[in-house]
Amino acid sequence: MSESLFGTDGVRGRVGSEPITPDTVLKLGWAAGSVFAEAGLSGDKVLIGKDTRVSGYMMESALEAGFSAAGINVSLLGPMPTPGIAYLTRTARACAGVVISASHNPYYDNGIKIFSSEGAKLQDELVEKIDAKMSESMTCVPSEQLGKAERFSDAPGRYIEYCKNTIDGALNLSGLKVVLDCANGAGYDIAPHVLTELGADVTPIANQPDGFNINRECGSTHLSLLKQHVMESGADIGIALDGDADRVLLVDSKGEEVDGDSILFVLANQRKRDGRLSGGVVGTVMSNLGLELALKDMSIPFLRSKVGDRYVHGILKEKNWVLGGEASGHIICLDKGTTGDGIVAALEVMETMLKTGQSLRELTKGMAIYPQKMVNVSFAPGGSSKAIVASDTVRDAVVKVEAMLGKAGRVVLRPSGTEPVIRVMVEGEQRCEVDSLTHELVEAVKLAAS
């Protein structure tokens, strides 16, 4: 995607600073609408959904005005999980879907990403055209051609039914006791309804959004609250969504974390038994080596993409496979949806628990987790992450660390696509060695960034 406005996952930043300002968001709506109109879609509608951040009101209104000025109709979904927006964009035959969310970031950040009419990430060609349009002066179609806005009726209900229908219709979750952490985000109302209507005994937490508490000490980036509730209640499983509910992490009955790699292992194992794996599994450069080796033992092909669900999705489409994801909890099941879906992934895990009669802890036993440590190293805004990573100081440190790890370890240096940090990851056989080598590499990155 173009680096001038769009990052690896759309447009994202601090609210009130470029590009997340009223003026720029308004113009982005106009630019996207103009590109859609030039493509002959002026009679169609765009869906706009958001998470629970207070800034969503401002951004929703600005986008609505921009699209209207370009002659594009708008249908407003309100708070809605990102995968729900993708699903409704496709099934409602909209020309595009817009998500207002900064995912797992704090409330003071926000962002915008756009889905195509198929419910997938917008094609690079259209993104480049929108980016180019942003450099033009904003115009407005004649009054008789202005786009209209409406509320989308029963958006939550339609997505709830979709989620429920992704698992065996004869299955009842009444045997499962679940703690559900909604991250005070977009899934705060929908996710509890899905599980409750399927019969689960659900205790929802972090489901009272106030515009400011999204992801605050809760959700998939802060599992302590969920672990506490699971242990205290004797639940079978804990489910943690992130702010826009497109990713999920789990907690087993003993309070142990089950990350996206382990979820992929559970789903791949069950899908192979059922004969519905359809090829192999796609992870990322950050996926644990233990996942790769466990899948190899099961004769399941495994490929790594760059970090980002759009890259996982790209390889899945290229190989005609259906299952992939990230350790952070983006789990993509292309036989069920077009993007990562935290609720759907959690449902498939629970379906596996019931069909096998095994606990989540038992289902994950076949995968050994290699010690892995990741540290985010910040650098000054405006600095070059590429220059830091390519510096002699960092390159020499990487060569030294890789030599000490040998073949049973990995080093990954990855600039973030959404914030000025470099993610330093070291993986190996021994925890103490991984910790010390990570510290050594982090110090080298800090020195190069200073």
Pairing of strands 149-151, 73-79: parallel
Number of Cβ atoms within 10 Å of the Cβ of 232: 11
Report whether 87 contacts 120 (CB < 8 A): no
Catalytic, 378? Answer no
Q: Can you say how many angstroms the Cα of residue 69 is from the centroid of all Cα atoms in its chain?
A: 31
Helix, coil or strand: residue 253: coil
Report whether 278 contacts 322 (CB < 8 A): yes
Distance between CA atoms of 171 and 267, rounded to whole angstroms?
A: 17
Distance between CA atoms of 296 and 276, rounded to whole angstroms?
A: 18
Q: Can you say how many angstroms the Cα of residue 39 is from the centroid of all Cα atoms in its chain?
A: 29
Distance between CA atoms of 89 and 116, rounded to whole angstroms?
A: 8
Quick one: which of 234, 258, 231, 248 has its CA closest to 181? 248
Helix count and strand count (H, E) for the chain: 15, 18
Show Cβ contacts of residue 272 under 8 Å, excluding neighbours closer than 6 positions: 298, 300
Residue bearing tokens 């080298």? 444
Q: What is the dihedral of CA 172, 291, 375, 55, to 10 degrees?
A: -30
Q: In what order do the strands lie in the sheet with 96-100?
A: 11-14, 109-115, 96-100, 45-50, 73-79, 149-151
Which strand (E) or helix (H) includes residue 27?
helix 22-38
Helix, coil or strand: residue 177: strand
Number of Cβ atoms within 10 Å of the Cβ of 148: 10
Distance between CA atoms of 333 and 352, rounded to whole angstroms?
A: 15
- Annotated catalytic residue: which of 68, 75, 103, 287? 103
Catalytic residues: 103
